[in-house]
């Protein structure tokens, strides 16, 4: 269905189910309980899950299929954000034109950088993309300040010359991004017993775009174009001996990947109409590399899982402090309680990066295929156990 094999179609249905039911899945604990701090079903974090999922899906098309490791993809994320905010300032507060222009700008920008960077491969390609991203970051802070807003970032103002729509509301406030009148910050809360579920318009818009982006990535993976990209990753030298020029394919993959990053940047600006140069910094590029490798480079759903895991660590584990830890281990004697808290605290709160680093190290060593490979191994164990249970008892031969 939809041009997909049954296996891929089932995977698409799983992604649709996870994204549509996220407010329920990410709020497993009742409000007010001690475990409620592990809930992640609030709009801002759910938006980050799907937006960075789009970012990682696009990066995986380049890195997972061709093997070209880019350390500068955050430049396209930032370019998309700037383009979206300028559309809000000049044209309309409707998010669709802003998202469209963010994809176009990121695509053109990635075409320029890719055309130059892809003259080299391996580590030289990675360094070139990193250099371009850092140049973009520096220009956004200095020379391009009239366009980017410099250190304060590009923001909406009451005197924006907006062509379609008012520059300010009837109450004198700055208009908010909307989809044909439906504000992105609009939310509906559903209370079921001790549980509170929030359904946010901005999240579901981003979720729809992520589903579309995931579907397109499946089609790319299964297409002849995707097979050519895999051939480039497998042995580009042998491919060139056959008379095939690999550069147009790698450039196309680079541009498609950049457009995914631009889409993510446009969605970020649509949820919060602010664009800053920090989105172009090398740390943002490194983050999407971690997401892809942690989830499983070259797999379909792996980058989405990696993005969700890193954003969960960043927003949930980082909030755990010593007070919360003392509450957890209050049942222990005072001396032992303080010792346990002192041992655990460096790995959470502000030290959540240490835990993430350990997890990443363990994944790279024991699960080179990422979280997807881990899931496949667990599923294989269950299948093997089931096969053993259903296997008929062997009859011994007669003497």
Give per-residue pLDDT as tens, 159-194: 888 888 778 888 888 889 999 889 999 999 998 888
Q: What is the pLDDT of residues 366-382, one digit of tens each?
A: 888 888 888 888 888 88
Give the pLDDT confidence score for residue 98 in this predicted structure: 95
Q: What is the pLDDT of residues 341-365, one digit of tens each?
A: 888 888 888 888 888 888 888 888 8
| Confidence check: pLDDT of 1 > 80 | no
How far separated are the first and last CA of the chain, in Å rounded? 56
Q: Predicted confidence band at 393 (pLDDT cuts at 50, 70, 90)?
A: low
Cβ neighbour number for residue 311 with a 10 Å cutoff: 22
Token pair, residue 248, equals: 């147009």
Global pTM value:
0.92
Tell the residue number behind the tokens 């924006």, with chain if given. Answer: 160
Q: Find out whether 186 and 10 touch, Cβ atoms under 8 Å.
A: no
* Cα-only R_g, the chain: 24
| Confidence check: pLDDT of 206 > 80 | yes
Q: Which of 159, 152, 153 is nearest to 90 (CA)?
A: 159
Q: What is the pLDDT of residues 212-253, one digit of tens each?
A: 999 999 999 999 999 999 999 988 888 888 888 889 999 999
Give the pLDDT confidence score for residue 379 in this predicted structure: 82
Q: What is the pLDDT of residues 36-55, one digit of tens each?
A: 888 888 899 999 999 999 99
CA–CA separation, 53 vs 252, rounded Å? 21
The DSSP annotation for 365-393 comes to HH-TTHHHHHHHHHHHHHHHHHHHHHSPP
Tell the residue number behind the tokens 């410099």, with chain if given. Answer: 150
Q: What is the pLDDT of residues 322-346, one digit of tens each?
A: 888 888 888 888 888 889 888 888 8
Give the pLDDT confidence score for residue 378 in this predicted structure: 86
Q: Find out whether 217 and 44 touch, Cβ atoms under 8 Å.
A: no
Give the pLDDT confidence score for residue 135 in this predicted structure: 93
Which is higher by pLDDT, 169 or 145?
Answer: 145
CA–CA separation, 131 vs 139, rounded Å? 12
Q: What is the pLDDT of residues 242-267, one digit of tens each?
A: 888 889 999 999 999 999 999 999 99
CA–CA separation, 141 vs 46, rounded Å? 30
Q: Long-range CB contacts (< 8 A, 24+ apart) of 110-115?
A: 110/76, 110/254, 110/255, 110/257, 110/258, 110/259, 110/261, 110/262, 111/251, 111/255, 111/258, 113/72, 113/75, 113/254, 113/258, 114/250, 114/251, 114/254, 114/255, 114/258, 115/251
Highest mean pLDDT among 103-112, 118-127, 310-319, 388-397: 103-112
Which helix (H) or strand (E) segment holds residue 191: the answer is strand 187-192
Mean pLDDT of the chain: 89
CA–CA separation, 83 vs 99, rounded Å? 8
CA–CA separation, 42 vs 375, rounded Å? 27
CA–CA separation, 379 vs 390, rounded Å? 17
Maximal CA-CA distance, the chain: 98
The DSSP annotation for 194-250 comes to TEEEEEEHHHHHHHHHHHHHHHHHHHHHHSHHHHHHHHHHHHHHHHHHTT---HHHH
Q: Predicted confidence band at 392 (pLDDT cuts at 50, 70, 90)?
A: low
Give the pLDDT confidence score for residue 14 in this predicted structure: 93
């Amino acid at each position: 269905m939809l041009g997909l094999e049954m296996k891929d179609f089932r995977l698409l249905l799983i992604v649709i189910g996870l994204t549509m039911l996220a407010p329920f899945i990410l709020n497993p604990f009742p409000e007010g309980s001690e475990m409620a701090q592990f809930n992640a079903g609030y709009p801002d974090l759910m938006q980050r899950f799907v937006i960075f999922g789009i970012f990682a899906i696009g990066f995986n098309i380049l890195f997972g299929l061709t093997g070209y490791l880019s350390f500068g993809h955050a430049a396209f994320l930032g370019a998309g954000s700037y383009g979206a905010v300028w559309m809000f300032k000049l044209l309309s507060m409707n998010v669709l034109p802003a998202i469209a222009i963010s994809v176009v700008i990121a695509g053109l920008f990635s075409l320029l950088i890719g055309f130059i960077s892809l003259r080299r491969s391996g580590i030289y390609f990675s360094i070139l993309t990193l250099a371009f991203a850092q140049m973009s970051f520096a220009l956004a802070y200095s020379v391009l300040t009239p366009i980017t807003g410099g250190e304060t970032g590009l923001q909406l103002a009451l005197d924006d010359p907006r062509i379609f729509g008012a520059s300010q509301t009837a109450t004198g406030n700055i208009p908010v991004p909307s989809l044909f009148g439906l504000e992105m910050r609009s939310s509906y809360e559903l209370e079921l017993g001790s549980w509170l579920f929030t359904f946010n318009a901005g999240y579901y818009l981003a979720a729809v775009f992520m589903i579309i982006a995931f579907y397109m990535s499946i089609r790319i993976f299964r297409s002849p174009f995707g097979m050519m990209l895999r051939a480039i990753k497998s042995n580009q030298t042998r491919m060139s001996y056959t008379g095939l020029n690999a550069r147009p394919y790698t450039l196309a993959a680079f541009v498609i990947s950049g457009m995914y990053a631009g889409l993510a940047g446009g969605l970020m600006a649509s949820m919060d109409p602010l664009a800053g140069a920090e989105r172009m910094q090398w740390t943002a590029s490194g983050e999407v590399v971690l997401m892809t490798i942690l989830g499983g480079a070259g797999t379909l759903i792996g980058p989405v899982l990696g993005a969700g895991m890193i954003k969960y660590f960043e927003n949930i584990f980082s909030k755990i402090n010593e007070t919360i830890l003392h509450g957890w281990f209050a049942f222990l004697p005072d001396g032992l309680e303080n010792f346990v808290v002192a041992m655990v605290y460096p790995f959470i709160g502000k030290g959540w990066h240490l835990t993430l680093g350990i997890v990443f190290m363990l994944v790279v060593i024991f699960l080179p295929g990422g979280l997807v490979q881990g899931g496949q191994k667990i599923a294989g164990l269950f299948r093997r156990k089931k096969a053993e249970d259903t296997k008929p008892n062997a009859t011994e031969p007669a003497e």
